[in-house]
Amino acid sequence: MTDFIFNGPERSGVTLLLAHGAGAPMDSDWMNAIAERIAGHGVRVARFEFAYMAARRSGDGKRPPPAPANRLIAEYLDAIGQIKAPGRLFIGGKSMGGRMASMIAQKLYDKRTIAGLVCLGYPFHPPGSPAKLRTDHLEPMTVPSLVCQGERDPFGTREEVTAYPLPDAMKLFWLPDGDHDLKPRKASGLSRDDNLAAAANAIASFVGAPA
């Protein structure tokens, strides 16, 4: 049975299911911060954890690596099957979690199971390896999608990503001077909170938040 963390009103009519990134759990400070800000717009936000990350909580000191993509995808589908989401359901996640969601989004959208996809810091390529793109499955997508990306994200900068053949259905929302966690440098005059708030506003607008 999948464990979920919920933020926001249960009867909002819009639910956003988020998976965590490769290295931090569903209740990391970053995941807590973005979930609370999105929920503040009246969106019900649900978070779940992949099994490898849940295993790290055992206290034995072991840190199993992320499971292969096919297992992560199966776990994501299982979470969708278990969550009770009246109204419209959007799926997505931080970095790896968003990538896994993107790999199942088209079939789920075609079945009218989901209304769209939200990715926070999409890993377009491994850091330092811009030629190893992870975009083939994105190009033909017709799923309404929103990617919130830091302008200097090492997994895909603004300069790099704007040159990719991404689908018309995918909107890119750029966070000024943001890194992979959307955090800008002090010299920018902005803060992480500024960028997280901006991302939450964009997400709320994209999913059609009731508030």
DSSP code of residue 43 = -
* pLDDT, tens only, 156-171: 999 999 999 999 999 9
pLDDT of res. 60: 77
How far apart are the C-alpha atoms of 84 and 77, rounded to whole Å? 13
Provide mean pLDDT across the span 180-203: 97
> Tell me, what CATH number does 111's domain have?
3.40.50.1820
Model confidence, pTM: 0.95
DSSP code of residue 85 = -
Give the residue from 19, 32, 27, 210 showing the smallest Cα distance to 105. Answer: 19
Contact 179, 152 (CB under 8 A): yes
pLDDT of res. 43: 97
Contact 29, 97 (CB under 8 A): no
* pLDDT, tens only, 127-148: 999 999 999 999 999 999 999 9
Residue 146, domain extent:
4-207
Answer whether residue 61 shows pLDDT above 80.
Answer: no
Q: Which phi and psi (to 5°) does residue 52 adopt?
A: -65, -35
Higher pLDDT, 85 or 97: 97
* pLDDT, tens only, 22-32: 999 999 999 99
Give how many domains the chain has, as a whole number: 1
Q: What region, left, alpha or beta, does residue 6 occupy, with left being phi > 0 and alpha being psi -120 to 50 degrees?
A: beta
| Local confidence band at 18 (pLDDT 50, 70, 90 cut-offs) | very high
Q: Average per-residue pLDDT in the chain?
A: 95
